[in-house]
Amino acid sequence: MIGVFDSGLGGLGIVSALRDLAPAADIVVLADQARAPYGDRPVEEVRRLAHRAADELIDRGCTTIVVACNTASTAALSSLRDARPDVAFVGMEPAVKPAASHTDSGVIAVLGTTGTIEGGLLASMIERFGMGRTVKGVALPGLVEMIEDGLAHAPAVERFLERELAGAIAEGADTYVLACTHYGFARDAIETVTGSGTTVIDPAEPVARQALRVSGGNQGSGATIVLTTADPVRMRRQVRLILGWDLPVGRVETRTTTG
């Protein structure tokens, strides 16, 4: 069974990609909405939250877990692997390498939460794979909350992006990396604001493929279990709005653990 967790709705993008690639896979997705977003929280707190979410999924039989959050991947992926070597963890990392190969202008904008943009993983990826390109990290505080509120396609999001991406556009960025799984739901707005001739790189499908490789592929009954640490009625409505799936949603309170 494959588990997916994020601080909120972002993990649904991975789940959608998994379901497209592997209709028979059994998937459990946990949205830690009671504590969303992770991006503005201290690293140690994010690490503890990630271990709690992983424990919940492991208790439910997941042997492969996607850490569908760039902030949690940066803060906790290594410690998760050390703590549970019997579980395959697949994390998120900013797609600097493919962006560096794709850009024509030589300017790349990496869009993420404050925690991701200021974290060491992005700096490492730029150093390893930047290939002499100009890579500009752009933090978008508040965008996760707007997406959680169902506003991904609202004019307010376009206005927000016009303001926050003005610098990257002025510098000639032609490739935009989504370094937050939530942002995939605002992809249309990002493409509208950045204009024609630009490319948006969303890692959801490559991450889903990696999860299937390590989990053994398209095996199971095709069940999808959705969990939240907040309001299940709201989460059910959000899943229906974003994915068009009407699924029951369970509420859990992730337990405290060390990590």
Chain segment 118-127, per-residue pLDDT in tens: 888 899 999 9
Domains along the sequence of the chain with CATH: 2-92+205-251 (3.40.50.1860), 96-202 (3.40.50.1860)
Sign of CA dihedral 68, 72, 75, 78: negative
Instruction: Identify the band that residue 254 occupies on the pLDDT scale cut at 50, 70 and 90.
Output: low
Block residue for tokens 């699924």: 247
- Quick check: is 62 catalytic? no
Q: Calculate mean pLDDT across residues 227-255.
A: 92
Instruction: Identify the band that residue 255 occupies on the pLDDT scale cut at 50, 70 and 90.
Output: low
The one-letter amino acid code at 156 reads A
**Run of H or E including 35:** none
**Residues linked to residue 4 through DSSP beta bridges, in sequence order:** 29, 66
Task: Share the mean pLDDT of the chain.
Answer: 93
What is the reported pLDDT for 242? 87
- Quick check: is 69 catalytic? yes
Answer for the pair 76, 259: CB distance below 8 angstroms, yes or no: yes
Has residue 259 got a pLDDT over 50?
no
Chain segment 172-182, per-residue pLDDT in tens: 999 999 999 99
Catalytic residue from among 14, 15, 90, 180:
180
Length of the chain (residues)? 259
What is the reported pLDDT for 256? 46
Chain segment 67-113, per-residue pLDDT in tens: 999 889 989 999 999 999 999 999 998 999 999 999 999 999 999 98
